[in-house]
């Protein structure tokens, strides 16, 4: 029987050429360096609640109802990190990582652009071009092309259907959020595939692309089902399509499984919405505390999957929130924020960079944390330390960015 290209594609799908054994064989491919995972919190999370500046009296004056109480040794107050900062009690699971020296914070990091628009700021972060709204590929896509020579998939995004940060010419793998990632989709049914192929008769390229996507989804679902698996309209806009913090830990588990099975995947991306806390933010308990518990569980999950020598996990958000609470017991859009780094090469158990306190003359416009450290500086350090990217290649990922030596200390040599 003579097969044409369309029939060959269909027969390949039917015979399972993209099945579990073929995919899992990639796990034997040795990693040349570490892996980097970015956890992006859409909506602007309140870094001053997660990293509590309990050593500054102004913090309690500016937040009379939502400040996290000073440490008293209980889980109802901030957990002491040093004389300047403490950890939100909802993040108690992260304290051992800090004490082990693998978790660190950069308290005044962010975009040099002053936008308070979620949409604009997220676009700047995802393209790596602060202040520019021109069409551009996502910087993780650019990075994936450099790492994989534009051919092999080296980046994986779990949770969002099409995050800007992964968009571009380099091939990437995208996986649905939560339980949807374990469902093979309607094209897993033979009759449905045959019917769709009839619709694509005479359009081989379209049929090939359709089947490639179907294969990817079915293979992913098979992998994740393997024995290793045991608001307001404004808030919705701020989420930008990301899932909830509640589902973030499950997405992290899926990402860990997939990147462990396929060692070509060295760049991971996760995101969640729900961090735009204008109203009833809460203090040691409440809405934000619940979100921080979910974030902590996510980081613990990621630590279990990414604990090799050069692995690093980064937590970031598009901008911070106001230092003072508003009239609705929440916080509004700010500027600088706290970034977190987790990994064996991280100089952990300490915070890095410049911190000048919360006096009015030290704040951006008298209301926000300033940005003393460009977010690209943190990422650039991570790309070199984790993925082994050369410093000379950094401008290809972040055009116009110049190396910031002030953060050279955040990774061990």
> How much of the chain exceeds pLDDT 90, in percent?
71
Rounded to whole angstroms, the maximal C-alpha distance in the chain is 82
Query: What pLDDT was estimated at residue 11?
Result: 39
Query: What pLDDT was estimated at residue 205?
Result: 60
Query: What pLDDT was estimated at residue 370?
Result: 98
* Lowest mean per-residue pLDDT among 243-247, 279-283, 344-348, 353-357: 243-247
pLDDT tens column, 5-26:
444 334 333 333 333 322 322 2
State how far the alpha carbon of 264 is from the alpha carbons of 23, 66, 186, in Å: 11, 45, 28
> What architecture does CATH give domain 30-182+234-410?
3-Layer(aba) Sandwich (3.40)
Query: What pLDDT was estimated at residue 17?
Result: 31
Query: What pLDDT was estimated at residue 232?
Result: 54
Can you tell me the distance from the alpha carbon of 61 to that of 28, in angstroms, rounded to the nearest whole number?
56
Query: What pLDDT was estimated at residue 3?
Result: 38
pLDDT band at residue 188 using 50, 70 and 90 as cut-offs: low
- The domain spans of the chain are 30-182+234-410
pLDDT beyond 80 at 212: no
The residue ranking higher by pLDDT, 11 or 218, is 218
pLDDT tens column, 224-258:
554 443 345 555 566 566 666 788 999 999 999 99
The residue ranking higher by pLDDT, 374 or 202, is 374
Q: For residues 267 and 154, is the Cβ–Cβ distance under 8 A?
A: yes
Can you tell me the distance from the alpha carbon of 236 to that of 167, in angstroms, rounded to the nearest whole number?
21
Instruction: Return mean pLDDT, the chain.
Output: 84
Q: For residues 103 and 348, is the Cβ–Cβ distance under 8 A?
A: yes
Query: What pLDDT was estimated at residue 285?
Result: 97
What does the H/E/C string look like for the chain? Answer: CCCCHHHHHHHHHHHCCCCHHHHHHHHHCCCCCCCEEEEEECCCCCHHHHEECCCCHHHHHHCCCCCCCCCCCCCCCCEECCCCCEECHHHHHHHHHHHCCCEEEEEEEECCCCCCCHHHHHHHHHHCCCCCCCCCCCHHHHHHHHHHCCCCCCEEEEECCCCHHHCCCCCCEEEECHHHHHCCCHHHCHHHHHHHHHHCCCCHHHHHHHHHHHHHHHHHHHHHCCCCCCCCHHHHHHHCCCECHHHHHHHHHHHHHHHHHCCCCCEEEEEECCCCCCCCCCCCCCHHHHHHHHHHHHHHHHHHHCCCCCCEEEEEECCCECCCCCCCCCCCECCCEEEEEECCCECCCEECCCCCCCCHHHCECCCECCCCEEHHHHHHHHHHHHHCCCHHHHHHHCCCCCCCHHHHHHECC
pLDDT tens column, 117-173:
999 999 999 999 999 999 999 999 999 999 866 557 899 999 988 899 999 999 999
Query: What pLDDT was estimated at residue 274?
Result: 93
pLDDT tens column, 40-88:
999 999 999 999 999 999 999 999 999 999 999 998 999 999 999 999 9
pTM of the entire structure? 0.81
Query: What pLDDT was estimated at residue 194?
Result: 66
Alpha carbon 206 to chain centroid distance? 32
Query: What pLDDT was estimated at residue 229?
Result: 37
* Lowest mean per-residue pLDDT among 28-32, 213-217, 260-264: 28-32
The residue ranking higher by pLDDT, 363 or 226, is 363
pLDDT beyond 60 at 94: yes
Query: What pLDDT was estimated at residue 234?
Result: 57
User: Which among 255, 254, 172 has a CA at the least distance from the CA of 216?
Assistant: 172
pLDDT beyond 50 at 29: no
Query: What pLDDT was estimated at residue 178?
Result: 58
pLDDT band at residue 100 using 50, 70 and 90 as cut-offs: very high
């Amino acid at each position: 029987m003579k097969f044409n290209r369309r029939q060959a594609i269909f027969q390949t799908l039917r015979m399972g050429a993209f099945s579990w054994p073929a995919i899992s064989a990639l796990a034997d491919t040795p990693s040349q360096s570490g892996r980097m995972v970015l956890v992006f919190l859409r909506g602007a999370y309140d870094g001053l609640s997660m990293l509590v500046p309990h050593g500054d009296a102004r913090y309690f004056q500016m937040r009379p109802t939502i400040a996290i109480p000073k440490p008293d040794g209980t889980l109802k107050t901030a957990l002491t990190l040093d004389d300047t900062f403490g950890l939100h009690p909802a993040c108690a699971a992260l304290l051992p990582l800090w004490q082990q020296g693998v978790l660190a914070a950069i308290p005044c990091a962010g975009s040099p652009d002053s936008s308070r628009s979620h949409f604009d700021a997220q676009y700047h972060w995802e393209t790596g071009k602060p202040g520019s709204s021109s069409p551009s590929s996502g910087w993780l896509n650019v990075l994936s092309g450099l790492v994989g020579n534009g051919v092999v998939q080296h980046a994986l995004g779990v949770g969002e259907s099409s995050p800007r940060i992964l968009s571009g010419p380099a091939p990437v793998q995208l996986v649905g959020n939560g339980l949807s990632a374990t469902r093979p989709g309607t094209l897993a049914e033979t009759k449905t595939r045959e019917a769709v192929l009839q619709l694509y008769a005479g359009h081989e390229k379209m049929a090939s692309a359709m089947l490639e996507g179907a294969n990817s989804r079915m293979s992913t679902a098979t992998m994740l089902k393997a024995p290793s698996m045991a608001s307001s309209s404004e808030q919705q806009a701020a989420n930008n399509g990301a899932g909830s913090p509640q589902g973030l830990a499950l997405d992290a588990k899926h990402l860990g499984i997939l990147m462990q099975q396929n060692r070509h995947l060295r760049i991971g991306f996760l995101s969640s919405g729900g961090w735009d806390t204008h109203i009833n933010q809460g203090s040691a308990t409440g809405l934000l505390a619940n979100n921080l518990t979910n974030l902590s569980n996510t980081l613990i999950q990621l630590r279990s999957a990414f604990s090799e020598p050069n692995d690093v996990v980064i937590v970031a958000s598009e901008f911070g929130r106001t230092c003072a609470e508003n009239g609705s017991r929440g916080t509004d859009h700010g500027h600088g924020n706290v970034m977190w780094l987790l990994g064996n090469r991280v100089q952990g158990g300490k915070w890095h960079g410049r911190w000048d306190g919360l006096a009015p003359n030290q704040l951006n416009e008298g209301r926000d944390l300033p940005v003393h450290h460009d977010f690209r500086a943190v990422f650039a350090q991570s790309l070199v330390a984790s993925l082994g990217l050369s410093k000379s290649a950094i401008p290809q990922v972040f055009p116009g960015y110049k190396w910031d030596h002030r953060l050279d200390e955040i990774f061990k040599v």
